[in-house]
Structure formats: C-alpha cells, structure tokens
C-alpha cells in the first residue's frame, strides 16, 4: 500500500470515528428541536385563563390559541417536507427553528388578540418546516438497524414527553406571575430555537439538493383542503357566541354538525383534497408522490397514526380539565398529575425499539393500541365524588403512555419502510400530517360528543332540582367520560386494522436501508 493510499485510509477511518461521535449529539439537537415544537402544542393550555384576562380575548375565540397552531402545523407539513427534499433538509430545518423563535417572541410580547393569534399561526408554519425535516434527518443520518431504531424511539418519545412537560411547565410558569407568567410560555422558546439553529451546521450533515419544481398547485390545494376540513370539524365543537348567556360562558350551545359555515368548510375541504389527489397524478414532481401509499403496510401505518394521536390528544385535553374542574386540582398540580406519562412513554418506546428486531410490528403496535383503548375505557368509568388519583387515574395514564410508546415507534418505522432517500422528507411529512390532522380532527369530533352529552345531562340535572353549583361539574364529567368511551372505540378500530392488515415482517425493517443512505 502506498503512503498516499494509507493516508487516505487513515483519514477515512478518522472521519468515520468522528461521525459516530457526532451521532449522539446530532440526536440530542434534533430531539431538543422536536421537543420545543411538541411542547408548544400543550404549554399554553393551562395558561388560557390568564391569556384571556390579560388580552381581553372573547371566549369564543380563545380556542384559536390552540387550534390555530395545530391548523397551520398540520396543513403545511407536506410543503415543509417537500421543501426539505428540494433545497436541503438541514437548511429548511434551521429556517424553521429561527422562524419559530421569532414567532414565539412576538407571541410573548403580544399586546392584543390579533397579534397573539397571528404569532400562533406563524409558529405552526415554522413547526411545519422544522418537524418533518427533523425526522428526515434521522432517517438519512443514522444507519439502518438498532442504531436508527434507538434514534426513532427517542424521537417518538418526544411526542408524549413534550406534551406532559408542556402541561407542567405551563402550570409553573403561569403561577409565577398572573400577568407575565403566560408570556414566559412563549418566550422560553426563543433561546432554545436560536441555540438549536446555531448548532445545526456543526452537528448535522447537509442532505443532497434535488432538482425539481416545487408543486405549487399541489401545495395550495393540499394546504387549503386540510385547513378547511380541520376548521370545519373544529368549528362544530366550538360554542356559538349568540347562545352564551351573560355571566356563564360555559353554558352556550356548540355550532354542531348542521352549522352552515362548518358544513361548507368541510365540503370545500373534501373537494380541495380530491383536486389535490387528481393533480398529484399529473405532476412530474408531485408534492406527495402517491407511490408512497402503494405499499399496504405503509398505508396501514399512516392510517393508524392518524387515529392513535386523537386518543392521546383526548386524554390530555379532557383529563386535564377533569382533574381541575371535577377533582379540584390547581393548574400546577394538574401538570404534575401527568408526569407518569413521561416515564411510561420512555419505557414503551425503549421496549418497542428492542422488540422490533425480534417481533413483527403487528404484535407490538397491536398490543399498544389495545392498551391505549383500555386506558380510555377505564377513564370512561370515572365517577364524580369517588375518584382517587393513585388508584383511578395514575395507573391508566401509565397504561396509555406504554401503549403510545409501543405504537408510535413501531408505526414510525413501518411508515418510512422502503421509502427512497429523496422522498424521506415527504414520507415524514405525511406521517406528521396524519398525526397533527388526525389529532385535531379527533379532538374536534370528541369535543362535539362531549358537548352533546354535557348539555343533555345539564338539562336533566336542572329538571331534577340539582344544586346549580353542582350542575356544571356533574354535566361536564358526563360529557368527558362519554368522549373517553368514543375515543376508546376509535383506537380499538385502529387496533383491528393493525392486527388484520399489517403484513410487514420485522426482518424487513431491520434490513431496510433507504436508497442513498450510507451505513456508518
């Protein structure tokens, strides 16, 4: 071997060793960014009363602080993934982080309702740029096999961990100061986002830039279709301000499924999505290559990942209200009540990443969805006046987190199985879209269910002469537990689909190496 050849070989070995060292830090950076994005979906929930009082936001518009973020996030994810494929995932990832930090600063300093809601929409846009490219960076940075499976398990755990931490952190920050505490729930993102963007070029490799046109017609029809559909279904669960009596904002009537605006939005959404599919079959460089749905296992994974997040959203939303409105917990206490979810999610994600090398995905994800459905069913059995956190609530929070950990990691691997490297951003964009849109759609449907049962129960209680102070609490409990039951049915439906239709083998996932990805 010549001296020059030996020197090149030593240089290659040194570079390989450096790459291995940087993989751990690269994963930390990606997961911190993802944690920030996920955390922001829940951190403001507990602060809503303070935000309403500080900015004098009308009650009917208050929900847009939460749904505005989810709508922009879910509606623009496909565009964010495609931009990463064309112009470089690291570059788009960094743009998303900087934009997220800037929007968070505007939200934290907001002086009125329009300023705050606008910042939430921009936060959703920024998250749509960062999140799918974060997942794609894992796919193209980590070699197939145990190392990538572990990376996916940590990344998937961020969904549950971020939601739980958001509730605790939101409660703590809100309690610091009645006026400024809620602003800190936004401002905390500024140093995190800017710091992650600064470190990205130093820890993450840049992906290839691919030639091709950005599918503008597809981006417009897909984004508007998803936004319209989610808006329509979300609106059915919102209260009609004309029905809200003075001094009792919780006693109004939801718009319902017969609302003309909601129906028009849903029909328009379906039409636009149909046009989107038609356009994608005729584009040379489509925003969403329909070939990624051709694989049956992948189609099952995408569908199940649209249903299961709805169950998790329902648990966080309704149970956080239940422990405060019915059990009398403070916001901070309510946040701490969900901490076991974090540990259960870690355990479930770690277990699934180990089992996937020896067990077919249907058994892991199928078991996870059964457990998650069981958790919601047990929450359905909660009764006012006899609920003990340690025996009636905490065990089933843990069961839910274990089920979600088993399901999320496994279905993430299946959904990206066999996708070429150049489509990794699109594949992860579809996956994230299914999660966000599914969660928003599911929560809207379950909120409508809860409103229906709450109103009916309230009428019964008033007619029977129940103490007015107890009517609201008892009626809400009936609505929430009914929503839990419907949520259990939804996720068990996904479980049946996984058990019967998911045919991919664990050996295929272990050996799967996307085209263009080098094994380190």
For residue 254, the cross-strand partners are 239
Q: Which residue has the higher pLDDT, 1 or 33?
A: 33
Q: Is the pLDDT of residue 207 over 70?
A: no
Q: Is the pLDDT of residue 466 over 80?
A: no
Question: Would you call 239 helix, strand, or coil by DSSP?
Answer: strand
Residue 131 pLDDT class (50, 70, 90 cuts): confident
Tokens of 371: 């457990």
Q: In whole numbers, what is the pLDDT of the chain averaged over residues?
A: 80
Mean pLDDT along residues 399-404: 93
Angle value at C-alpha 65, between 99 and 228, nearest 5 degrees = 85
Residue 11 pLDDT class (50, 70, 90 cuts): very low
Domain positions in the chain: 7-204+287-511, 216-244+251-281
If phi over 0 gives left and psi between -120 and 50 gives alpha, with beta otherwise, what is residue 88? Answer: left
Q: Is the pLDDT of residue 475 over 90?
A: no
Cα 377 versus chain centre, distance: 22
Which is it for the CA torsion 192, 193, 199, 203, positive or negative?
Answer: positive
Tokens of 443: 């929560």
pLDDT of residue 436: 74
Other beta carbons within 10 angstroms of residue 266's beta carbon come to 20
Q: How far is CA 359 from CA 183, 331, 334, 461, 504, in A?
A: 46, 41, 37, 51, 11
pLDDT of residue 520: 27
pLDDT of residue 402: 93
Q: Is the pLDDT of residue 471 over 50?
A: yes
Beta carbons of 287 and 275 less than 8 angstroms apart: no
In angstroms, the CA 514 to CA 267 distance is 38
The 10s digit of each residue's pLDDT in 154-168 is: 777 776 677 677 778
Q: Which of 43-52, 364-373, 391-400 has the lowest mean pLDDT?
A: 43-52
Burial level of 21, CB count in 10 A (0-12/13-18/19+)? exposed
Tokens of 350: 């770690």
Residue 252 pLDDT class (50, 70, 90 cuts): low
DSSP letters for 63-113: THHHHHHHHHHHHHHHHHHHHHHHH-HHHHHHHHHHHHHHHHHHHHT--SH
The proportion of the chain whose per-residue pLDDT surpasses 90, expressed as a percent, equals: 20
Beta carbons of 457 and 476 less than 8 angstroms apart: no
Which CATH architecture fits 7-204+287-511? Up-down Bundle (1.20)
369 φ, ψ to 5°?
A: -70, -30
Mean pLDDT along residues 507-519: 49
Tokens of 102: 């800037």
In angstroms, the CA 362 to CA 495 distance is 9
In angstroms, the CA 306 to CA 490 distance is 11
Q: Which residue has the higher pLDDT, 57 or 486?
A: 486
Q: Which residue has the higher pLDDT, 444 or 351?
A: 351
The 10s digit of each residue's pLDDT in 302-348 is: 888 888 887 777 787 788 778 877 888 877 887 788 888 888 888 89
Mean pLDDT along residues 270-294: 84
Question: Cα torsion for 122, 126, 132, 134, to the nearest 10°?
Answer: -150
């Amino acid at each position: 071997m010549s001296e020059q050849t030996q020197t090149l070989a030593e240089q290659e070995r040194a570079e390989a060793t450096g790459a291995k060292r940087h993989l751990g830090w690269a994963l930390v950076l990606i997961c911190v960014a993802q944690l920030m994005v996920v955390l922001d979906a829940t951190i403001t929930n507990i602060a809503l009363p303070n935000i309403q009082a500080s900015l004098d936001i009308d009650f009917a518009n208050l929900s847009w602080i939460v749904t505005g973020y989810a709508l922009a996030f879910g509606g623009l994810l496909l565009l964010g993934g495609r931009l990463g494929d064309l112009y470089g995932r690291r570059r788009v990832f960094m743009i998303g982080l900087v934009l997220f930090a800037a929007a968070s600063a505007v939200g934290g300093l907001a002086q009125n309702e329009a300023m705050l809601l606008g910042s939430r929409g921009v936060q959703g846009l920024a998250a749509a740029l960062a999140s799918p490219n974060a997942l794609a960076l894992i796919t193209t940075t980590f070699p197939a096999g145990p190392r990538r499976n572990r990376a996916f398990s940590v990344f998937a755990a961020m969904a549950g961990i971020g939601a739980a931490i958001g509730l605790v952190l939101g409660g703590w920050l809100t309690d610091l100061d009645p006026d400024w505490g809620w602003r800190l729930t936004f401002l905390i993102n500024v140093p995190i986002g800017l710091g992650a963007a600064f470190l990205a070029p130093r820890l993450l490799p840049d992906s290839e830039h691919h030639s091709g046109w950005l599918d503008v017609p597809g981006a417009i029809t897909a984004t508007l279709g998803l936004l319209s559909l989610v808006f329509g279904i979300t609106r059915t669960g919102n209260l009609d301000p004309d029905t809200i009596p003075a001094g009792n904002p919780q006693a109004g009537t939801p718009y319902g499924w017969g609302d003309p605006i909601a129906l028009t939005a849903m029909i328009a959404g379906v039409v636009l999505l149909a046009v989107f599919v038609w356009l994608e079959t005729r584009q040379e460089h489509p925003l969403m290559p329909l070939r990624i749905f051709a694989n049956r296992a992948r189609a099952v994974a995408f569908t199940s990942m649209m249903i299961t997040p709805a169950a998790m959203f329902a648990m966080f939303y309704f149970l956080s209200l239940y422990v405060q409105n019915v059990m009398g917990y403070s916001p901070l206490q309510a946040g701490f009540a969900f901490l076991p979810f974090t540990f259960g999610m870690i355990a479930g994600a770690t277990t699934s990443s180990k089992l996937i090398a020896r067990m077919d995905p249907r058994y892991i994800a199928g078991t996870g969805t059964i457990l998650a459905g069981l958790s919601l069913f047990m929450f359905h059995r909660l009764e006012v006046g006899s609920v003990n956190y340690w025996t009636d609530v905490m065990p089933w929070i843990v069961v839910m987190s274990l089920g979600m950990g088993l399901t999320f990691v496994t279905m993430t691997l299946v959904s990206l199985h066999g996708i070429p490297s150049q489509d990794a951003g699109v594949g992860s964009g579809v996956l994230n879209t299914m999660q966000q849109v599914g969660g928003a759609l599911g929560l809207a449907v379950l909120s409508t269910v809860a409103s229906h049962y709450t109103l009916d129960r309230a009428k019964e209680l008033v007619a029977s002469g129940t103490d007015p102070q107890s009517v609201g609490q008892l009626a809400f409990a009936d609505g929430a537990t009914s929503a839990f039951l419907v949520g259990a049915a939804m996720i068990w439906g996904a479980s049946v689909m996984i058990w019967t239709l998911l045919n991919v083998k664990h050996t295929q996932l272990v050996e799967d190496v996307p085209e263009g990805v080098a094994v380190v």
